[in-house]
Amino acid sequence: MTTQSDAVHDQPDPALHDPALHDPALHDPALLAIMGAHGQLLNLAYRLLGSLAEAEDVVQETSARWYALSPQDRAAIESPAAWMTRVAGRICLDLLGSARARRVSYVGEWVPEPLPERAEWNGRPGFGSFADPADRITLDESVTMAFLVVLETMTPAERVAFVLHDVFRYSFTEVAEIVGRTPAACRRLASVARRRISSARASTAPTARQARVVKAFKRAWEVKDIEALIGLLDPDVRGIADGGGVVNAVPRPLVGAERIVRYLMGFARRMPDPTLLERTVNGRPGLVALQDGVAVTVVAFDVVDDRITRIWAVRNPEKLRPWKAAGSSRAHPDSHTGWARLA
Q: Which among 53, 115, 109, 51 is positioned nearest to 286, based on CA atoms?
A: 115
pLDDT of residue 84: 95
Mean pLDDT of the chain: 84
The answer to whether residues 260 and 295 belong to one domain is: yes
Burial (Cβ within 10 Å: 0-12, 13-18, ≥19) of residue 152: middle
Phi, psi dihedrals of residue 161, rounded to the nearest 5° = -65, -45
Per residue in 164-185, pLDDT (tens digit) is 999 999 999 999 999 999 999 9
Between these two residues, 201 and 338, which has the higher pLDDT value? 201
The answer to whether residues 69 and 19 belong to one domain is: yes
% of the chain with per-residue pLDDT over 90: 62
Distance CA 206, CA 303 (A): 9
pLDDT of residue 342: 41
The answer to whether residues 55 and 178 belong to one domain is: yes
Domain boundary among 172, 200, 228: 200
Domain boundary among 185, 200, 215: 200
Find out whether 237 and 257 touch, Cβ atoms under 8 Å.
yes
Per residue in 186-199, pLDDT (tens digit) is 999 999 999 998 87
Domain boundary among 149, 165, 200: 200
With H, G, I as helix, E, B as strand and everything else as coil, classify residue 154. coil
The answer to whether residues 319 and 173 belong to one domain is: no
Find out whether 337 and 69 touch, Cβ atoms under 8 Å.
no
The answer to whether residues 214 and 284 belong to one domain is: yes
The answer to whether residues 34 and 75 belong to one domain is: yes
The answer to whether residues 195 and 46 belong to one domain is: yes
pLDDT band at 339 (very low <50, low <70, confident <90, very high): very low
Cα Rg of the chain, angstroms: 21
Domain carrying residue 260? 207-342
Say which CATH number the domain at 245 has: 3.10.450.50
Q: Taking residues 12-21, what's their average pLDDT?
A: 47
pLDDT of residue 198: 86
With H, G, I as helix, E, B as strand and everything else as coil, classify residue 131. coil
- Residue 123: count of CB within 10 angstroms of its CB: 14
Find out whether 261 and 230 touch, Cβ atoms under 8 Å.
yes
Query: Residue 1's Cα: distance from chain center in Å?
Result: 14
What is the number of domains present in the chain? 2
The answer to whether residues 177 and 322 belong to one domain is: no
pTM over 0.85: no
Q: 300 pairs with which residues across the strands? A: 286, 312
In a domain, 6, yes or no: no
